[in-house]
Amino acid sequence: MHLDLTDRVVLVTGAARGIGAVLADRFVTEGCRVVALDLAFPDAPTTGVDQVRCDVTDPASVRAAVDGVVARHGTVDVLVNNAGINVEGTVAELGWDAWRRCMDVNVGGTFLVAQAVAPVMQAAGRGRILNAASFAAIVPSVGSAAYAASKSAVVAFTRVLASELGPWGITVNAYAPGMVPTAMNGFAEMPSAAQDRLLDTLSIRRWESADDVADLLVFLASDAAGYVTGTLVDVSGGKLATQIPAKAYER
């Protein structure tokens, strides 16, 4: 299979830590020119990957970052809209500000960066846009109204953009990680009984790694995935593939 990504220009948002940092490193390993965007980066770059401070909810910040990437690298071949936040709380508890912040980052940020990058890809006549959804967009949890709604919106946005950019040969897909222990969720720090309860929802009974996500994204970014667009790809280890996946481990 042809997965050669050598010299592709890859933009990864939310890449200062967690899944995004691993994705940025993976695309470097694949021979790409990677630019990592994050609110948390200092103004000056500190590592090998190009790091650009950018708030994906701020149109001017996004515009400046994308213009800078194009000035430096000439184009953007792959955009990974990874930046996201988790806002927890029941509908009764959620404040309006928390709801709006969740929508601003997860949906608004995805929209703003895709909107800024799309004309660059249209001019090049090719491109890949990969949007971080979540398993929460497939089966949401109690207390995840804002987060699940935002990720479902990302899926709908992905499908519309896929159709709008199809004429330029640009594909747009969303992906749904399940449970990657990161600072966002603290899965790895939970008491072991709570961890077991979560792991029991999986067909592949182990925590997901960011590399599991990276493996999928390398494929989706490649020429081999040219006919895959407008989809939500579940990369959750078969979470709730059946009602009680743990039964298979009791045999």
Q: Which residues bind ligand NAD (CB under 6 A)?
A: 13-14, 16-20, 38-40, 54-57, 82-85, 105, 109, 132, 134-135, 177, 179-180, 182-185
Instruction: Provide the β-strand partners of residue 80.
Output: 12, 130
Question: Of 215 and 223, which CB lies nearer to ligand NAD in the complex structure?
Answer: 215
Any idea what DSSP says for residue 177? E
Measure the CA–CA gap between 93 and 88, rounded to whole angstroms: 9
Helices H, strands E: what count in the chain?
7, 7
Q: Interior CA angle at 231 toward 87 and 135, to 5°? A: 30
Give min distance, CB of 139 to ligand NAD, in A: 12
The 232-235 sheet, strands edge to edge: 50-53, 33-38, 9-13, 78-81, 127-132, 170-177, 232-235
Active-site entry in 147, 175, 227, 249: 147
Question: Of 38 and 77, which CB lies nearer to ligand NAD in the complex structure?
Answer: 38
Question: Of 4 and 109, which CB lies nearer to ligand NAD in the complex structure?
Answer: 109
Question: Of 14 and 127, which CB lies nearer to ligand NAD in the complex structure?
Answer: 14
**Other residues' Cβ atoms within 10 Å of the Cβ of residue 113:** 26
Measure the CA–CA gap between 173 and 164, rounded to whole angstroms: 13
Please say if 227 is a catalytic residue.
no
Give min distance, CB of 193 to ligand NAD, in A: 19
Element (H, E) at 28: helix 18-29
Give min distance, CB of 118 to ligand NAD, in A: 19
Provide φ and ψ at 36, rounded to 5°.
-105, 125
Give min distance, CB of 174 to ligand NAD, in A: 10
Give min distance, CB of 250 to ligand NAD, in A: 25
The CA radius of gyration of the chain, in Å to the nearest whole number, is 18
Question: Of 169 and 181, which CB lies nearer to ligand NAD in the complex structure?
Answer: 181
DSSP 91-145: TTT--HHHHHHHHIIIIIHHHHHHHHHHHHHHHHT-EEEEEE--GGGTS--TTBH
Q: Point out the residues that are catalytic.
A: 147
